C-alpha cells in the first residue's frame, strides 16, 4: 500500500461499520483474500489475455491483506496505465505509486464485478499483489475499514 502506508505501519480497523453501511470505492480495508492469493497470482477461472481476474479462487485464506476498494458490485472495470476505469470513468488517483510499464498495468478487457463482491488494488500499482491477479473478494471476507494509523508515532493520523 505504499506510499499511503509504509511497511510495518500499524492501522486501526473499524470492524462494525460495514454491518450498517456498504463499503465504498476508495475505502482502505482489511480482508481475507481468496485461498492461493497469499502464495502469489492465482485466478479462480481462466482469464482472457488483457483481462483482470473476474472471479476469485474458491475458499477464503487465513491471512489478512490491506488494500483499497476500486470497484464494487455490478461495476464494469478495466485497467489503464495501472488505474481503474470504472463504468467508463478513469479514477483520479493522485495518491498512488504509478505502475511501470508491464502486462498488469494495462488490462483493457472489461469485467463485471459480481454481486456482493469488491475489486481491490494496492496503491503501489507496479508491485501490488491484488484483485488484478486473484479476483474480486466477497463482502463476507471483509474484516473492516482502516481509519487511522497508530504506529510509528511519526505517522499517526486519520485517513
CATH of the domain at 76: 2.10.109.10
Note whether residue 5 is domain-resident.
no
Asked if residue 21 is part of any domain, the answer here is: yes
Closest CA to 9 of 121, 110, 153: 153
Note whether residue 82 is domain-resident.
Answer: yes
Q: Which stretch of DSSP H or E encloses residue 133?
A: helix 131-134
Q: Would you say 19 and 143 are in contact if contact means Cβ atoms under 8 Å apart?
A: no
CA distance 16 to 20: 7
**Cα(68)–Cα(29) distance, integer angstroms:** 6
Residue 2: inside a domain, yes or no?
Answer: no
Q: Which residue has the cell 511497511?
A: 7
Q: Does the model's pTM come out above 0.85?
A: yes
- The tens digit of pLDDT for each residue in 80-127 reads 988 999 999 999 888 888 787 665 788 999 999 999 999 999 999 888
10-59 tens-digit pLDDT: 999 999 999 999 999 999 999 999 988 887 768 889 988 889 999 988 89
Length of the chain as a residue count: 159
Round to whole Å and give the CA distance between 141 and 137: 7
**Is 1 a member of any domain?**
no
**3 within some domain:** no
Contacts with 55 (C-beta within 8 Å, 6 or more apart), sequence order: 43, 44, 45, 114, 135, 136
Total number of domains constituting the chain: 1
Is 4 a member of any domain? no
Tell me whether residue 109 is in a domain.
Answer: yes
- Containing domain of residue 58, as a range? 10-158
Report which of 113, 153, 136 is spatially closest to residue 8, judged by C-alpha positions: 153
Amino acid at each position: 500500500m505504499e506510499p499511503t502506508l509504509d511497511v510495518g505501519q500499524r492501522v486501526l480497523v473499524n470492524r462494525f461499520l460495514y454491518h450498517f453501511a456498504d463499503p465504498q470505492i476508495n475505502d482502505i480495508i482489511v480482508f481475507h483474500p481468496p485461498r492461493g492469493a497469499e502464495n502469489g497470482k492465482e485466478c479462480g477461472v481462466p482469464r482472457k489475455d488483457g483481462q483482470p481476474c473476474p472471479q476469485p479462487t474458491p475458499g477464503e485464506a487465513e491471512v489478512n491483506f490491506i488494500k483499497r476498494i476500486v470497484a464494487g458490485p455490478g461495476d464494469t472495470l478495466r485497467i489503464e496505465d495501472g488505474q481503474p476505469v470504472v463504468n467508463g470513468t478513469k479514477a483520479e488517483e493522485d495518491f498512488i505509486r504509478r505502475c511501470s510499464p508491464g502486462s498488469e498495468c494495462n488490462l483493457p478487457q472489461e469485467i463485471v464485478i459480481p454481486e456482493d463482491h469488491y475489486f481491490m488494488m494496492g496503491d503501489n500499482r507496479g508491485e501490488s499483489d491484488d484483485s488484478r491477479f486473484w479476483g474480486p473478494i466477497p463482502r463476507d471476507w471483509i474484516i473492516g475499514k482502516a481509519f487511522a494509523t497508530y504506529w510509528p508515532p511519526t505517522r499517526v493520523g486519520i485517513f
